[in-house]
Amino acid sequence: MNRAALESVIQGSVDRHRGKPGPLLVILHDLQAQWGYVPDEAVPLLAEALTLTRAEIHGVISFYHDFRTTPGGRHQVQVCRAEACQAQGGRQLEAAVREHLGIDWHDTSADGMVTLEPVYCLGNCATGPAVRIDDAILGRVTPDRMRTLLDDLQREPVNISGLMTEAPHG
Amino acid sequence: MAEVRTIYVPNDTTAQSLGAEDVARQIGRALGEQQADIRLVRNGSRGACWLEPLVEVETDSGRVAYGPVSPDDVPGLLAAGLLEARPDHALYLGPTDEIPWLQKQQRVTFSRAGIIDPVSLDDYQAHGGFAGLEKALAMSPRQLVDEVTASGLRGRGGAAFPAGIKWNTVLEASADNPGNPQSGRKFIVCNADEGDSGTFADRLVMEADPYLLIEGMIIAGLAVGAEYGFIYLRSEYPIALQRLNEAIERAEAESWLGSDIRGSGKHFHLEVRLGAGAYICGEETSLLDSLEGKRGMVRPKPPLPALKGAFGQPTVVNNVLTLAAVPWIVEHGGAAYAGYGQGRSLGTLPFQLAGNIRRGGLVELAFGATLRELVEDFGGGTLTGRPMKAIQAGGPLGAYMPESQWDTPLDYEAFTEAGAVLGHGGIVVFDDTVDMAQQARFAMEFCVVESCGKCTPCRIGSVRGVEVIDRIIDNVNRTSNLALLDELCDTMEYGSLCAMGGMTPNPVRSAVRHFPEAFEPSSNASAGAA
């Protein structure tokens, strides 16, 4: 990570949210949106900019499931593990995804295309099992459809919103 | 044929998750090709998830519906006269208002959801929006608090604490806090961290009728003397985030938010803050720490957030549904709202039918109907067609209820008496293939993942809980491990700082009590696949 670029992004975010009380989470979301993770080098810079300790910054980053400290895959795939999805075949879907990608939760596929994360409820509980691919939430996802979606993701860059709608559903 | 003016294709998460974007694109293309003088409006959702995407066609005699419309259905629908509102297609449902599933509901909070374009201020006002706020601007804080108290409204997030009492505490609290940069301020914080599995009513408010929440928050601010509000929104809701921000921007542009609201001299500033994937932040004190940019650790109470809440100042923390009920209460009066419901459970509750259910979605009803009416009459049984076996009400910390309890009235006290939780109104149905021992194990596992770690019974107890249940499933010292599990549940229930550790025993114990056969050695042998 280029230090000058890092400093400029952090400073930009800090300036943008100046005047907001308790802005650390807001700024971390900015950084994660920029790079897909919060680099370790950002911690002392954030501490200085916000007059907090490095321990406090690290403590916040490590508390929340959303924040990564290493780069993830090109696409973030979240599979809902919560009860309403379990009731609709979610456990079978979880198993199918892990087997198809050959990775476990929090891991990234060898080609760097997909990072797999569990999620506990996407609020799509009447039409599960639910999956989120980047910012698109999908419903009634069967293991077969999921395997096709994953294969598509692992090929070349795909348009997620197009992907969301071209896939068969129901 | 009736003249068609408008076509509606919903854009809430559920409709989008089932292809609504593609449906809208295809219909838009057809309208362009025919040069038809018909508007295509993206509405929210009426909450009939089982019919999504629910396409509606408005004629001079009302709206007719088609659903569920998959992208593959659109060419056939267009050929069968969708744009003329013809009934000649298998997906034709007739007039939307006459769909029994919708018609039998008592829509108070959700009266506008799915009917309007969610971010159109004109639509909002044309359908009665801001009537409560207009009235509130002419009322005193005391009158507003008294109205909410008279309504009997209780916190809809799950704890069911009377909203009027909370508001009154904040109204009477002093905001003087020498040394605190926020001294002099009070806050309204909306808890939109709807993490309970099986719940999506908050999301639906924010996606289908966001001005309703904004209006409720402004009124809360007027009632307690707060000029700043935060919506703490979970990051799992990207569409709600986008819609709230757009609604706030438009409301500010039209002076419904910000300084000097509609020339009244009153102010209210609103900001959405995004969570970061921690379930515990739905607990109000943990939410406040997170809002302040810290780890979302639970705070001991007292001090009450009403006295020392966000940034150390007096704060109303209310759930989305609580705040969304307020405009109606102010417009129609607390007594009118209290006319719904029974006993100490007054008003309506938006129930959410989820899981393995044929007709799932949002069902708003006055308190008092039974669970069975909800899952059978509205829900129509399971989607798989198999017998229903267990219902988990009230989210992941709620009990699993067997059929013998399904005639329990939907009422806070009746549920408590049955050892269950009504909570945020989530109802998750399981068919007879469910392995209840695995469900009990998952409850502990979820607590391991989501505990904030501050207190030992929750942080360590949940880890031990998974281990003990695994030994029971493996039939290792079964009897003594069942007794150990019971003791562990006692420790968590009585020793935890908040509901996370304190209520995780609910699903575990109810599974053991009501479905003991699932914990028998014989049944475990066949349950390995779950």
Cα separation, B71 vs B54, whole angstroms: 12
Query: Do residues A96 and A38 share a domain?
Result: no
Query: Do residues A54 and A104 share a domain?
Result: no
Domain tally, chain A: 2
Say which amino acid occupies B133: L
- Token pair recorded at residue A22: 């308790």
Contact B42, B24 (CB under 8 A): yes
CATH number of the domain encompassing residue A93:
3.40.30.10
Query: Do residues A87 and A148 share a domain?
Result: yes
Strand B341-342, strand B228-233: pairing: unpaired
Boundary of a domain, candidates A17, A43, A63: A63
- Which of B13, B198, B290 lies closest to A137 in CB terms? B13
- Token pair recorded at residue B216: 């409720």
- How far is the CA of A29 from the CAs of A57, A81, B235, B267, B291, in angstroms? 13, 24, 10, 29, 13
Query: Do residues A82 and A129 share a domain?
Result: yes
Query: Do residues A158 and A81 share a domain?
Result: yes
pLDDT lower than 70: segments of chain B: 1-2, 523-530
Cα separation, B322 vs A156, whole angstroms: 46
Q: Would you say residue A68 lies in a domain?
A: no
Residue-range definition of the domain harbouring residue A114? 75-166
Name B188's bridge partners. Answer: B229, B316
Q: Would you say residue A69 lies in a domain?
A: no
Residues 64-83 of A with CB under 8 A from B: 64-67, 82-83
Query: Do residues A88 and A51 share a domain?
Result: no
Residue-wise pLDDT for A112-169, tens only, equals 999 999 999 999 999 999 999 999 999 999 999 999 999 999 886 555 544 443 333 3
- Which of A60, A65, A166 lies closest to B294 in CB terms? A60
Which domains are delineated in chain B? 4-99 (3.40.30.10), 121-338 (3.40.50.11540), 341-431 (3.10.20.600), 436-525 (1.20.1440.230)
Cα separation, B194 vs A100, whole angstroms: 31
Q: What is the pLDDT of residue A163?
A: 45
DSSP states of B9-42 as a string? ---SHHHHHTTHHHHHHHHHHHHHHHT---EEE-
Asked if the C-beta of B357 comes within 8 angstroms of chain A's C-beta atoms, the answer is yes
Q: Would you say residue A145 lies in a domain?
A: yes
Q: What is the pLDDT of residue B475?
A: 96
Cα separation, B243 vs B119, whole angstroms: 7
Query: Do residues A117 and A153 share a domain?
Result: yes
Q: Residue ranges of the alpha helices (H) in A70-159?
A: 83-86, 90-101, 143-154
What residue of A is the nearest CA neighbor of B395? A83
- Which of A29, A83, A127 lies closest to B392 in CB terms? A83
Q: What is the pLDDT of residue B36?
A: 83
Asked if the C-beta of B508 comes within 8 angstroms of chain A's C-beta atoms, the answer is no
Q: What is the pLDDT of residue A156?
A: 62
Q: What is the pLDDT of residue B3?
A: 83
What residue of B is the nearest CA neighbor of A85? B355
Q: What is the pLDDT of residue B525?
A: 47
Number of residues assigned to chain A: 170
Query: Do residues A47 and A106 share a domain?
Result: no
Q: Residue ranges of the alpha helices (H) in B254-388?
A: 284-291, 320-332, 334-338, 371-372
Query: Do residues A90 and A134 share a domain?
Result: yes
Sign of CA dihedral B109, B114, B115, B118: positive
Contact B420, B469 (CB under 8 A): no
CB contact under 8 A, A165 and B19: yes
Q: Would you say residue A56 lies in a domain?
A: yes
For residues B328, B333, B337, B343, the Cα torsion angle rounded to the nearest 10 degrees is: 150
Q: What is the pLDDT of residue A157?
A: 55
Query: Do residues A123 and A161 share a domain?
Result: yes
CB contact under 8 A, B293 and A24: yes
